Structure 1
Amino acid sequence: MQRSVSPLGRKFLYAHEGVVTKAYRCPAGEWTIGAGLTSKSGVVKVTPGMIITEAENDRLVDLALSKNYVPRVLAALGSECSQQALDAGASFDYNTGAIHKASWVKAFLGKDFVQTHARLLLWTKGGGKVLPGLKRRREAEYDLLVHGDYALAAPPPAIPPRGGAQILVRLSAAEIENIKEGLKSLGFDATAPRGCIGLHAVLKYQESRDLLVDGKVGIATLSSLQRDLDARLKGKRAGLGAAAGTSVVAGDQVTNVVTNPLPADPSALLPNQVATLVGVGIIAAAALYLVIQAVRYRDVIASSIDGMAPRLAALLRSF
């Protein structure tokens, strides 16, 4: 009998990955949809503007799990492992792609649960520091792996105060303040009481980035914000020295970003300067770094020129 992740295991995965039904770019720039699916999954070709239903997401995730993850989990934990172990292992591998070399596996198979826990928590770092979102995920995976606790009874997102955006992911007050600072650095005043993010700023930001405009702060919005700020960080590193960073959370993951505006990044040349450069035909003579960055962050540039050159913006978003 072919083993598979259970419906509860899939819900557990969704609780940590999030589900976005309109295509967006992840922080690495890959077009992404559903529960973190990219074209590299081999089960879907994600294209700009693509929209799927939740039922289609379920189907695609099941395909991705059975094709890419379940075989590796069973090879690591054994074909006769419990359903809860398979579900926990699939969540870990979906996130890391590394269950085949994770030291917690040996500890778990040896029933050394103290070491299982300790070694799972080795997989909580990004950029050299422990990330709160990943720590939460590893703790939840341990509870599922060892105790069978799917922890699906979490309360729904709190209803925001008047003028505040709904937050769909678990964030500390400090993380929320970092997000507000990131939006502010991009020209979106997200001022709101501590623990809240201004709704108007979120709506305007989503609209400017061709996201689903729903006023909800989730995976897609945070991924887009991270890319915007990362583009500025790249420009800073190229010509202005070190930059001060902060963190933006996305799907139980945190990515280091920069909040201070930096004029050396590609989007700082837009829209007027780029229009001038195009007019005199000297784009080809631009510095190689800026060319590379312009290609990598073409979605950021598209947002900057949307009002002035909508056709060019649409072209930049199309690949």
Structure 2
Amino acid sequence: MALKISQTGINLIKQFEGCQLKAYKCPAGVWTIGWGTTEPINGVKPHQGMVITQAQADSLLVNHLKAYEDAVNKLGTNFNQNQFDALVSFCYNLGTGIFKGNLLKAIKEEYWSNVASQMLLYNKARVNGALTELKGLTRRRQAESELFLKQCVKEDLELKKAAQLLYKRKVISVLGAWESMDNMKLEYVPGLLKNMGGIDRLVKDKIISDRLLWEYKQYNANHIRALIIKYSKLG
């Protein structure tokens, strides 16, 4: 099944492209506008003096990403979402014809660490005719490689359901802070415990058993996950 870039991938592209509503020349000397758009807009390539609106820039990014999504999907490899996002960002910056040679070989062999290493090599552009390493490209390649190798976290449906129940009961006010173990903010836990009636009540109701763990803030995301799920089952 064909994948589409996630918000994580879009955010990565935006982070490094930046948005310019007036056309400018990138370090490689190519006229660019919006979120790194170099393709023609209504048949007209970006050029000196061209100006667009923010809404046009955002729309151009979404519309132009499809060609890069297609290029990665056509590689015929079973990528996870992080790998797909990283490669779409990679070829959005370098062009859909970038998948060749040792990079393509590593992709076809699913030699993931080598794919990430190969990506790091594409950090140069021609400046005044000379192939030059650009710090911005080096940072981008590092970010893309790290995302490519980052393990996808499966959605924790049990935790998500429990958090949604507590949100409806107004025990928690920021749903996104508790639906995923990756997003949990430990500094919010004292407030969570207070909203649950405090440590004494939680011990009494047998939601927690190790009082000192919570009093001395020795808990981690796994402890908080168990707490939320158990508390959600209270009548």
Scaled by the length of structure 2, what TM-score is found? 0.52
Residue 147 of structure 1: which of 130, 145, 150 is its match? 150
Tell me how far apart the structure 1 counterparts of residues 145 and 135 of structure 2 sit (CA, whole Å): 15
1:116-265 alignment runs, 5 A limit? 116-126=115-125, 127-147=130-150
SS of alignment partner, residue 81 of structure 1: coil
- How far the C-alpha of 1:41 sits from its partner, in A, is 6.7
Residue 43 and residue 92 in structure 1: after superposition, are their counterparts in 2 closer, same or farther (change >3 A)?
farther
SS of alignment partner, residue 12 of structure 1: helix
- How far the C-alpha of 1:44 sits from its partner, in A, is 6.0
Residue 49 and residue 131 in structure 1: after superposition, are their counterparts in 2 closer, same or farther (change >3 A)?
closer
For 1:147, the aligned partner's letter is K
Q: Which runs of 4+ in 1 moved over 4 A?
A: 27-30, 41-45
Aligned to 1:9: 9
SS of alignment partner, residue 74 of structure 2: helix
Deviations 1:24-51 (A, max 9, x none): 3445655421012134477765455443
Aligned to 2:85: 87
Larger-gyration structure (1/2): 2
- How far the C-alpha of 1:2 sits from its partner, in A, is 5.6
Q: Indicate conservation of the 8 Å contact 1:43/1:64, yes or no.
A: no
Residue 109 and residue 2 in structure 1: after superposition, are their counterparts in 2 closer, same or farther (change >3 A)?
closer
- How far the C-alpha of 1:73 sits from its partner, in A, is 1.1
Deviations 1:3-43 (A, max 9, x none): 42222211111111111122234456554210121344777
Tell me how far apart the structure 2 counterparts of residues 84 and 37 of structure 1 sit (CA, whole Å): 23
Aligned to 1:291: none
Tell me how far apart the structure 2 counterparts of residues 83 and 43 of structure 1 sit (CA, whole Å): 32
Q: Indicate conservation of the 8 Å contact 2:21/2:53, yes or no.
A: yes
1:62 aligned onto 2:65? no
Tell me how far apart the structure 1 counterparts of residues 44 and 35 of structure 2 sit (CA, whole Å): 12
Residue 41 and residue 72 in structure 1: after superposition, are their counterparts in 2 closer, same or farther (change >3 A)?
farther
Residue 74 and residue 134 in structure 1: after superposition, are their counterparts in 2 closer, same or farther (change >3 A)?
same
Tell me how far apart the structure 1 counterparts of residues 151 and 21 of structure 2 sit (CA, whole Å): 29
Percent identity among equivalent residues? Answer: 37
- How far the C-alpha of 1:85 sits from its partner, in A, is 1.8
Unaligned runs of 5+ in 1: 150-319
Scaled by the length of structure 1, what TM-score is found? 0.40
**How many pairs align?**
147
For 1:132, the aligned partner's letter is K
Deviations 1:100-119 (A, max 9, x none): 21523432453433322332
Tell me how far apart the structure 1 counterparts of residues 10 and 111 of structure 2 sit (CA, whole Å): 26
For 2:62, the aligned partner's letter is D
Tell me how far apart the structure 2 counterparts of residues 75 and 16 of structure 1 sit (CA, whole Å): 25
For 2:150, the aligned partner's letter is H
Q: Indicate conservation of the 8 Å contact 2:116/2:149, yes or no.
A: no
Residue 41 and residue 73 in structure 1: after superposition, are their counterparts in 2 closer, same or farther (change >3 A)?
farther
SS of alignment partner, residue 79 of structure 2: coil
Deviations 1:76-123 (A, max 9, x none): 253x42222221111111121233215234324534333223322221
1:37 aligned onto 2:40? no
- How far the C-alpha of 1:61 sits from its partner, in A, is 1.0
Tell me how far apart the structure 1 counterparts of residues 58 and 46 of structure 2 sit (CA, whole Å): 15
Q: Indicate conservation of the 8 Å contact 2:86/2:147, yes or no.
A: yes
Tell me how far apart the structure 2 counterparts of residues 86 and 43 of structure 1 sit (CA, whole Å): 29
Residue 118 and residue 133 in structure 1: after superposition, are their counterparts in 2 closer, same or farther (change >3 A)?
same
RMSD across aligned positions (CA): 2.9
SS of alignment partner, residue 75 of structure 2: helix
Tell me how far apart the structure 1 counterparts of residues 43 and 64 of structure 2 sit (CA, whole Å): 6
Unaligned runs of 5+ in 2: 153-235
1:274-293 alignment runs, 5 A limit? none
Tell me how far apart the structure 1 counterparts of residues 11 and 43 of structure 2 sit (CA, whole Å): 19
